[in-house]
Amino acid sequence: MTGGNSRSLRRAVDPRAYQIAALSTLLVLGLFRFGFDVPLTHVAVTLTSALAGQWLAARMGWPSARASSTSRTPFEWRSALISGLSLCLLLRAPHAVWMALAAFVALGSKFALRVPRADGAGTKHILNPTNGAIVLLLLAGAPVWLSPSQWGHHLGLALAVAGFGSLVVHRSARSDVTLAFLVAWAAVLFGRAAWVGQAWVAPLHQLENGSVALYAFHMISDPKTTPDSRAGRIAFACLVALGAGFVQFVLFRTNGLLWSLAAASLFVPLLDRWLPGRGFEWSAPGTGAHREEVRHAQSGIPWPARAAGGVRTV
Amino acid sequence: MRSRVFHGLLALLAVCAPFEAARAFCGFYVASGESKLFNHKSQVVLVRDEDRTVMTLASDYEGDPKEFALVVPVPVVLKRGQIHVGDSSLVGKLDAYSAPRLVEYHDPDPCPVAGLSWGAPRSLLSAKSMAEVSVSAERRIDQGVRIEARYEVDEYDVLILSADDSGSLLTWLTRHGYRVPAQANRVVASYLNQGMKFFVAKVDLRRRAARGLTTLRPLQIAYESPRFMLPVRLGMANANGPQELFVYAVTRTGRVEAVNYRNLKLPESVEVPAFVKRDFSSVWRVAFDRLVDRNGMGVVYTEYAWNLTTCDPCPSPPLTREEQRALGVWWLDDDPSVFVTRLHARYDRASFPEDLVLQTTADRANFQCRVVVHNEWTGEARCENANTYRKSLPSRRAREAAALAELTGWPLDRIRTSMGVNTAWLAAGESLTPYKTSSWWESLWK
């Protein structure tokens, strides 16, 4: 059917293509419009390192969620490029070598820090690679930092980032985690302002930060590291927002969103067991599982593939 | 007479006294007519490492000292030993050391004689104890306000106050002679709800006179708290127009930047026409106004970031080890690393809706803002190189004028007039080929 074919064709576009376009545009804007203090050599080194790391991992046959035990690990350059671009947007370092290390750690965390999937279908990496690299480097005391206000506080820019990002999350049909996070984070910020008696302009100022939009649409939305079910993702988003509020307003530390995302990611396997769902595949960016589908999968009876065509059978 | 609460300072200050003659911008000496440059100015030195902070609050208040009062939210109740009165000159020295600088070069003779060489650049800027009095800490409840501590610190009377609600605190302050604006109520309430205390200081005229003091010396407080922030909101409660904030952040590890406001660096090096040196402070004021116009006020500018023990060029000498220690750098015995960042923000209530939160980074790259002028060589032409040099001048003048126009927004015509050149970038009667080749024999027997 024509409608079905066009839908299939539309769905065939990898959401990562949108994300690469969006992140690249943001990086160019940041460098040449917002005055990011990032040497171009750092950008080149980061992207090269990410791609090289991914290629090396593929050559060595390191595990991939996509690869079966008998097939050769594919060179997923899109994911590596996204990790590299994200690091360029977020991380700052005095020397390019730290950016290269961050890229390798990002890629390495994807292959090394894995847990079995709740549905038994292979393994799943725990940390969003970019988030994992940043947190691990900060924990190790590396001389790196983030500039969370580099975008300024322009609602227009935030909306532009959101617009770009929405393409990505809608293509991967995981907009629920983004929306849930934005609602939960707004609740935390406005709730805290109400608690201490601040004027509403203060939490509004915090929400308008371009970095929040970037985080919501391009990091927490990572479909590979968020819970498999919609309910799980919403719970996850709320957990991240609460954790970030704790770091920022109780511990008075910076980068609360990143610390919280890393910590909450450790609970994703539990959430997947508690609220099971269908694993994500970039080739079939569906929304996640229905309970009925999961039951079929667990019983060993293949669930009929939908138009998305990506339901994995075990 | 009621004391007034000095409001420009960091802030918190609740009310205030008009700033009369704010000192010249950034430590540059300017004519008295320029004294309103960057008025409503607050200067704060923050020495920070891990969770320890030493804050020095410098006032450019020049009014009647009995009208002066300072109200600052602090995260903890301070003990007597955590409060100090510093040397008035320290912040001024740090200001002069870190200010955007005008650097002057002199073009060399294009036909040098033996022994002469290009001159080294030099900066145009000539850039320039606490006696333990009685300590009586007491905790008393007075009209819903708790006096957590009361100290006499040199010429200052200091109170550390806490309260259950802002109304009680404001009433108490008003009753005790502090003129606090009604608009401060909500801001004060938010600080109290965050568990912060209020550091209140007034000048004791008798002790001040006994010490023979004529200026207001900066108060310094040392505390340990994970909060690395400046409570600027209270100072805006009654602010009349934008205020200027200068933060000199001294750390062991590297540059300091704002977490919740956009950071931008000033231009690192700009070459402008030489006439700028005649009134650099005015030019710089216009340049900064233009920056703010372009980027809005919710921006924190990095004006200087450097190892505090060195500079190049030096508008004034770096602070000595003793001066660093006096500012609160406590780690010098263990580690000589001291890095300073100078931040400058112009803000009002709308552009700074929340307190300024800062973070220390690992960035130790030196950064300074230099405005460079080249004095043209005007000597007698004695060789062909002089012609080459003269021919290069119009294009350089055009570049410098364009840079100044970009910096200040001034029209090129105005700049050309100040430079004394025409549209071809030539001065009246100027020759591009002042050296005329003579016949080979003319100097043969001279």
Q: How many CB atoms lie within 10 A of CB B195?
A: 10
The verdict on B175 and B312 lying in the same domain is no
Q: Alpha-carbon distance A313 to A279, whole Å? A: 11
Q: Which domain holds residue B320?
A: 87-128+244-373
Angle in degrees, CA B315, B318, B323, rounded to 5: 135
Give residue B180's pLDDT: 72
Reported as half-sphere exposure (CB side, CA atoms, 13 A), residue B89 has a value of: 5
Average pLDDT of the residues in B51-71: 81
Which of B240, B255, B277 terminates a domain? The answer is B240
User: Is residue B292 in a domain?
Assistant: yes
Residue with the bigger pLDDT between A231 and B183: it is A231
Quick check: A254 and B359 CB within 8 A? yes
Looking at the partner chain, which of A142, A206, A252 has a beta carbon nearest the beta carbon of B260? A206
Tokens of A8: 């299939």
Average pLDDT of the residues in A26-55: 89
Q: Which residues of B touch A254 (CB under 8 A)?
A: 259, 357, 359
Task: Examine the pLDDT at A168 and tell me if it is beyond 70.
Answer: no
User: Is residue B445 in a domain?
Assistant: no
Give residue B387's pLDDT: 87
Give residue A13's pLDDT: 64
3-class DSSP assignment, residue A140 = coil
Task: Examine the pLDDT at B399 and tell me if it is beyond 90.
Answer: yes
Q: Which residues of A touch B254 (CB under 8 A)?
A: 94, 143
Tell me which residues of chain A, numbers 251 to 310, contact chain B at a CB-CB cutoff of 8 Å: 251-254
User: Is residue B56 in a domain?
Assistant: no
Give residue B85's pLDDT: 93
Give residue B393's pLDDT: 93
- Which of A27-36, B154-163, B238-247 is the least confident region? B238-247
Average pLDDT of the residues in B14-36: 25
Q: Alpha-carbon distance A227 to A235, whole Å? A: 9
Task: Examine the pLDDT at A171 and tell me if it is beyond 70.
Answer: no
Residue with the bigger pLDDT between A157 and A233: it is A233
Task: Examine the pLDDT at A299 and tell me if it is beyond 80.
Answer: no
User: Is residue B30 in a domain?
Assistant: no
Average pLDDT of the residues in B343-348: 92
- Greatest mean pLDDT among A72-76, A173-177, B58-62, B382-386: B382-386
Whether B346 and B123 have beta carbons less than 8 Å apart is answered as: no
Give residue B33's pLDDT: 24
Nearest-neighbour CA in chain A from B223: distance (Å): 15
Average pLDDT of the residues in A26-51: 90
Residue with the bigger pLDDT between A282 and B422: it is B422
Tens of pLDDT along A99-113?
Answer: 999 999 998 887 777
**Cβ-based neighbours of A233, under 8 Å, separated by 6 or more:** A174, A176, A177, A180, A226, A227, A288
Task: Examine the pLDDT at A180 and tell me if it is beyond 60.
Answer: yes
Q: How far apart, in Å, are the Cα atoms of B442 and each of B311, B445, B446?
A: 51, 8, 8
Model confidence band, residue A202 (pLDDT cutoffs 50, 70, 90): very high
Task: Examine the pLDDT at B386 and tell me if it is beyond 70.
Answer: yes
**In this prediction, what percent of chain A has a pLDDT beyond 70?**
70
Model confidence band, residue B381 (pLDDT cutoffs 50, 70, 90): confident
- Which of A89-93, A299-303, B243-247, B349-353 is the least confident region? A299-303
From B228, which residue of chain A is nearest by alpha-carbon distance? A252
- Which of A121-130, A225-234, B155-164, B232-241 is the least confident region? B232-241
Task: Examine the pLDDT at A258 and tell me if it is beyond 80.
Answer: yes
The verdict on B193 and B321 lying in the same domain is no
Cα dihedral B211, B213, B217, B221 in deg (nearest 10):
10
Tens of pLDDT along A222-252?
Answer: 877 888 888 999 999 999 999 999 999 999 9
The verdict on B335 and B248 lying in the same domain is yes
Residue B276 DSSP class: G
User: Is residue B208 in a domain?
Assistant: yes
Give residue B339's pLDDT: 97
Residue with the bigger pLDDT between B248 and B33: it is B248
Q: Which residues of A touch B261 (CB under 8 A)?
A: 149, 153
**Cβ-based neighbours of B96, under 8 Å, separated by 6 or more:** B26, B27, B125, B127, B128, B315, B316
Model confidence band, residue B443 (pLDDT cutoffs 50, 70, 90): confident
Model confidence band, residue A36 (pLDDT cutoffs 50, 70, 90): confident
Quick check: B261 and A149 CB within 8 A? yes
The verdict on B269 and B214 lying in the same domain is no
Q: What is the mean pLDDT of chain B?
A: 80
Whether A177 and A183 have beta carbons less than 8 Å apart is answered as: no
Kind of pairing between the strands at B243-251 and B41-49: parallel
Domain residue spans in chain A?
2-299
Model confidence band, residue B121 (pLDDT cutoffs 50, 70, 90): very low
Quick check: A206 and B354 CB within 8 A? yes
Give residue B246's pLDDT: 93
Q: How far apart, in Å, are the Cα atoms of B154 and each of B210, B211, B287?
A: 10, 9, 41
Q: What is the mean pLDDT of chain A?
A: 78
Give residue B416's pLDDT: 95
Give residue B404's pLDDT: 96
Tokens of A91: 């991380």
Task: Examine the pLDDT at B134 and tell me if it is beyond 80.
Answer: no
Average pLDDT of the residues in B99-114: 83
**In this prediction, what percent of chain B has a pLDDT beyond 70?**
82
Give residue B340's pLDDT: 97
Give residue B122's pLDDT: 39
The verdict on B198 and B323 lying in the same domain is no
Q: How far apart, in Å, are the Cα atoms of B21 and each of B62, B155, B235?
A: 7, 23, 19
Looking at the partner chain, which of A145, A150, A199 has a beta carbon nearest the beta carbon of B353? A199
Which of B373, B402, B427 terminates a domain? The answer is B373
Cα A297 to chain centroid distance, Å, stands at 26
Q: Which of B225, B255, B262 to mutate to test the interface with A (most CBs of A within 10 A)?
A: B262
Tokens of B103: 């650097």
Which residues does residue B270 pair with via DSSP β-bridges, in sequence order? Answer: B371
Q: Which residue has the tokens 């569906």?
A: A286
User: Is residue B29 in a domain?
Assistant: no
- Please check whether residue B354 touches A, CB under 8 A: yes
Residue with the bigger pLDDT between B137 and B330: it is B330
From B254, which residue of chain A is nearest by alpha-carbon distance? A143
Average pLDDT of the residues in B247-276: 94
Closest by CA to B61, choosing from B30, B17, B95, is: B17
Model confidence band, residue A2 (pLDDT cutoffs 50, 70, 90): very low
Nearest-neighbour CA in chain B from A89: distance (Å): 15
- Please check whether residue A153 touches B, CB under 8 A: yes
- Which of B52-61, B217-226, B363-372 is the least confident region? B52-61
Task: Examine the pLDDT at B58 and tell me if it is beyond 50.
Answer: yes
User: Is residue B78 in a domain?
Assistant: yes
Residue with the bigger pLDDT between B185 and B408: it is B408
Model confidence band, residue B1 (pLDDT cutoffs 50, 70, 90): very low
Task: Examine the pLDDT at A285 and tell me if it is beyond 70.
Answer: no
- Please check whether residue A42 touches B, CB under 8 A: no
Residue with the bigger pLDDT between B235 and B113: it is B235
Q: Which residue has the tokens 């060589």?
A: B377
Task: Examine the pLDDT at B168 and tell me if it is beyond 80.
Answer: yes
Quick check: A151 and B354 CB within 8 A? no
The verdict on B80 and B176 lying in the same domain is yes
Q: Which CATH class is domain A2-299?
A: mainly alpha
User: Is residue B96 in a domain?
Assistant: yes
Looking at the partner chain, which of A94, A197, A254 has a beta carbon nearest the beta carbon of B190? A197
The verdict on B123 and B163 lying in the same domain is no
Task: Examine the pLDDT at B240 and tell me if it is beyond 90.
Answer: no
Q: Alpha-carbon distance A312 to B118, whole Å? A: 75
Residue with the bigger pLDDT between A68 and B222: it is B222
Which of B213, B240, B267 terminates a domain? The answer is B240
Quick check: A251 and B226 CB within 8 A? yes
The verdict on B155 and B254 lying in the same domain is no
State residue A175 phi and psi, 5-degree precision.
Answer: -70, -15
Spell out the alpha helix ranges (H) of chain A. 2-12, 15-32, 40-59, 77-90, 96-112, 129-139, 155-171, 175-196, 201-207, 210-218, 230-249, 256-265, 268-274, 291-299
Average pLDDT of the residues in B370-398: 89
Residue with the bigger pLDDT between B96 and B435: it is B96
Q: If you write DSSP's letter for every residue of B50-94 in order, what string do you get?
A: TTEEEEEEE----S-GGG-EEEEEESSPPPGGGEEE--HHHHHHH
- Give the number of residues written for chain B: 446
Computed from CA positions of residues B21, B26, B31, B34, in that sequence, does the dihedral angle turn out positive or negative? negative
Tokens of B421: 């050149």
Task: Examine the pLDDT at B67 and tell me if it is beyond 50.
Answer: yes
Whether A73 and A62 have beta carbons less than 8 Å apart is answered as: yes
3-class DSSP assignment, residue A209 = coil
Does the model's ipTM exceed the 0.85 cut? no
Average pLDDT of the residues in B31-49: 63
Q: Count Cβ–Cβ pairs < 8 Å, chain A vs chain B.
A: 72
Q: Alpha-carbon distance B404 to B295, whole Å? A: 18
Q: Which residues of A touch B190 (CB under 8 A)?
A: 196-198
